[in-house]
Amino acid sequence: MEDVGPGDRVAYLGLNSSDVVEMFFATVRIGAVYVPLNFRLTAPELSFIIGDCTPSAVIYDRAFQGVIDAIDTSVMPPVLIETALDGSDSGYEQCLITDRGPQQAAPANADTLSMIMYSSGTTGKPKGVMYTRRMMLAQRSTFAAQRGQSRRVACST
């Protein structure tokens, strides 16, 4: 994804998997902002969110191809990457295969934006909630303090 750099947004539409964790950390490493999209939303709702956050790329699970096709094309970025949770070949896997090797981590500080999660929009349109690295670290530190150290980890998504 050489067209994506620091400050750019990368949206993901699909179910949770280990690939999602990989995508999140890769996105943050290059200084881009991860934007998870709720797979339960309709195409018009997703069109609004994509139009609002203006991602440079959308990564999606091929199970959601119909939804992707129904999203307003005027808001879609030029880079669309298909992945497949069923383990079959996909555009995401192709990106990994053709990768140029380890990339230098983008300069960042505690106030660098890492993720935008959209609210449910109960009072109107969904709103992007911005998470900095500091906020995410504080959340994880609080969770660790409450749960303690263990080999098992509960994940919240």
**Average pLDDT of 3-24?**
89
What would the pLDDT profile of 79-136 be if each residue is shown by its tens digit?
Answer: 888 887 666 665 565 655 566 666 677 777 888 899 999 998 788 899 999 999 888 8
Question: Would you say residue 6 has pLDDT above 80?
Answer: yes
Residue 145 domain-assigned (yes or no) = no
Contacts of 33 (CB under 8 A, 6+ apart): 7, 8, 9, 10, 27, 113, 114, 115, 116
pLDDT, tens digit (0-9, with 9 covering 90-100), for 54-73:
999 999 998 999 999 999 99
Q: Tell me what pLDDT residue 118 has.
A: 96
Residue 39 has pLDDT above 80, yes or no: yes
CATH number at residue 36: 3.40.50.980
Let me know if residue 94 belongs to a domain. yes
Whether the per-residue pLDDT at 12 is higher than 90: the answer is: yes
Residue 97 structure tokens: 């295969």
Q: Is residue 26 part of a domain?
A: yes
Does a structural domain hold residue 123? yes
Distance CA 51, CA 58 (A): 12
Does 151 fall in a domain?
Answer: no
pLDDT interval class at 40 (50, 70, 90): very high
**The total number of structural domains that make up the chain:** 1
- Residue 20 structural domain: 9-132
- Res 47: pLDDT: 97
Cβ atoms of 115 and 35 within 8 Å: the answer is yes
